[in-house]
Structure 1
Amino acid sequence: MDNDVDNSCIVKHFKSYATLDEKDQQLLLSLEEGPRAWPKNTILWHQNDQSDCFYTLSKGWACSFRELKDGTRQVLDIYVPGDIVGLREFSFQKRITSVIMLNDAELCAFPRHHLDHIFSSSLMLCNIMFMITSRDQAILLERLVNLGRRSAREKLAHFLVEISYRLQRTNARVEDHLSLPLSQSVLGDALGLSAVHVSRTFQEFRREGLLKTGNSHLELLDIRGLEAVAGFDAFYLEPPISDSRS
């Protein structure tokens, strides 16, 4: 069982917010029962589908998006291992976004009504759930600033650095070199940039030794250099409150 805890992305994610006792960790492991494989490009759900559960993403990457009438889409978030997918829609009867797999992934479904057990059994897990939703809101607010007030170079660098910081919650090996399954198309849809704009910015970053691209993957070669381009401040990614038990 200890090995299950050590390998659990969601336990690592929650422990980055606060110290968890054995009972809390076992409750969290119940969210990862019955993992199911989802191939790359599979739609997890469509906008307006019934909202009856959320998921923990134990392996792989996904993104949420809204489809527009002209056939384009706006990517709203990128999900990395350890993230909870669909928690933002907890109070809605229908899905407000669509979600697609960016590579082969593994997810565990968790019926919404099971949250009652989590909330009644652990005040700490309830508090952390609130912190996670608060942080997700902060990320969306920062995304608005990114879309509206930063240059293409700053937008792209900021977004990539943000992803690297989020990965550090569940992957201690993230340092200054990182491979991401993000295509130019996904990044353009997330940042409101044309394919030409994304391609031109990538060329600049490649010449500067900040990243390299290929096969729908990005390799970040100099995260600190990208931070400097973006003027990145990680304040909005910090846990909102400290561990009340410490």
Structure 2
Amino acid sequence: MSSGVGESCIVRHFESYAELSEKDRRLLLSLEDGPRTWTKNAIIWSQGDESDGFYTIRKGWVCAFRDLQDGTRQVLDVYVPGDIVGLREFAFQTRISSMIALSDAELCPFPKSHLAQVFASSVTLCSTIFMITARDQAILLERLVNLGRRSAREKLAHFLVEISHRLQRTNAQVENHLSLPLSQGVLADALGLSAVHVSRTFQEFRTEGLLETGNSHVVLLDIEGLETVAGFDGCYLEQPVSELLLADPHPSSASLP
């Protein structure tokens, strides 16, 4: 168990959505297991494993993927420090995708069995979980548009800009939001492109001064330029509306119609 509220992954993430009471903080802290570590390229869980909870990423990068019958892989999403992983499988008994560490990573588990206590104890925490899942869904919808309707240049630029924006929102402790530990292979699998196509597009972007690549990293040099290439509109990354957190969960009878 974490030793203090300030060290809690889940508390820090929830507080990015809403102001928590001391009771809410202590409840989350009491239910969160201590952080666990994985080395780069380690499988965190595999498709078909028991879906026993979700995790908050304390350090490092991970990605969700599905292996296909022809031996190829589809990367479903890349997760950055501060993100929550595993909530999509809340209603399932087994994992519907696999998760791998893209770098050395430290994740804090939150067992699924503890969610019932959260739902019963705090309207604020329950509402926050719904807001987190709504934002996750919005990212998935934008990813569908990116995969289906944009050119290779637009796909790659959009994905890189999105990751940079997500880093800035979820984890202030990251020193450089412009250096992404993403290989060309991971990007190809995430965008439905061949590694050759990604390499060619990277070469174009390097020539245009938009980014640099090397050592399985991408360094973004010109975010605005990449946003222009992608036609990027970050409205789907905005914080969800939080008015429901301010609503009185027990309205008086006088206010009822």
Q: Report the TM-score when normalising by structure 2.
A: 0.88
Q: Within the alignment, does 1:81 sit opposite 2:81 as a pair?
A: yes
Task: Work out the CA distance in 2 between the residues paired with 1:175 and 1:190.
Answer: 25
Report the equivalent of 1:21.
Answer: 21
Report the equivalent of 1:132.
Answer: 132
Q: Following superposition of structure 1 onto structure 2, how do residues 17-56 of structure 1 map, counting pairs within 5 Å?
A: 17-30=17-30, 32-56=32-56
Report the equivalent of 1:234.
Answer: 234
Q: Within the alignment, does 1:191 sit opposite 2:191 as a pair?
A: yes
- Give CA deviations for 1:195-246 in whole Å, capped at 9, x if unaligned: 1110011111111221111111111112222111111111111223224339
Q: Within the alignment, does 1:59 sit opposite 2:59 as a pair?
A: yes
Q: Closer, same or farther in 2 for the Cα pair 1:185/1:18, shift >3 Å? A: same
Report the equivalent of 2:255.
Answer: none
Contact 1:63/1:99 (<8 A) preserved = yes
Task: Work out the CA distance in 2 between the residues paired with 1:212 and 1:7.
Answer: 34
The Cα of 1:19 is off from its aligned counterpart by: 1.9
The Cα of 1:72 is off from its aligned counterpart by: 0.3
Task: Work out the CA distance in 1 between the residues paired with 2:210 and 2:173.
Answer: 19
Q: Closer, same or farther in 2 for the Cα pair 1:52/1:8, shift >3 Å? A: closer
Count of aligned positions: 244
Matched letter for residue 246 of structure 2: R
Task: Work out the CA distance in 2 between the residues paired with 1:65 and 1:238.
Answer: 25
Unpaired runs of at least 5, structure 2? 248-257
The Cα of 1:94 is off from its aligned counterpart by: 1.1
- Give CA deviations for 1:115-142 in whole Å, capped at 9, x if unaligned: 1111112111111110111111111111
- Give CA deviations for 1:67-94 in whole Å, capped at 9, x if unaligned: 1000001000111111111110011111
Matched letter for residue 96 of structure 1: I
Report the equivalent of 2:246.
Answer: 245
The Cα of 1:7 is off from its aligned counterpart by: 5.1
Contact 2:82/2:171 (<8 A) preserved = no
The farther-off stretch of 97-106 and 42-51 is 42-51
Q: Following superposition of structure 1 onto structure 2, how do residues 130-169 of structure 1 map, counting pairs within 5 Å?
A: 130-169=130-169
Contact 1:87/1:133 (<8 A) preserved = yes
Q: Closer, same or farther in 2 for the Cα pair 1:7/1:223, shift >3 Å? A: farther
Matched letter for residue 133 of structure 1: T
Task: Work out the CA distance in 2 between the residues paired with 1:168 and 1:30.
Answer: 28
The Cα of 1:176 is off from its aligned counterpart by: 8.7
- Give CA deviations for 1:174-195 in whole Å, capped at 9, x if unaligned: 7996111110000000000111
The farther-off stretch of 58-67 and 221-230 is 221-230
Give aligned-pair identity as a percent: 74
Contact 1:66/1:73 (<8 A) preserved = yes
Task: Work out the CA distance in 2 between the residues paired with 1:16 and 1:40.
Answer: 27
Report the equivalent of 2:98.
Answer: 98
Unpaired runs of at least 5, structure 1? none
The farther-off stretch of 96-105 and 32-41 is 32-41
Q: Closer, same or farther in 2 for the Cα pair 1:192/1:31, shift >3 Å? A: farther
Task: Work out the CA distance in 1 between the residues paired with 2:6 and 2:169.
Answer: 13
**What is the SS of the residue equivalent to 1:34?**
coil
Contact 1:61/1:102 (<8 A) preserved = yes
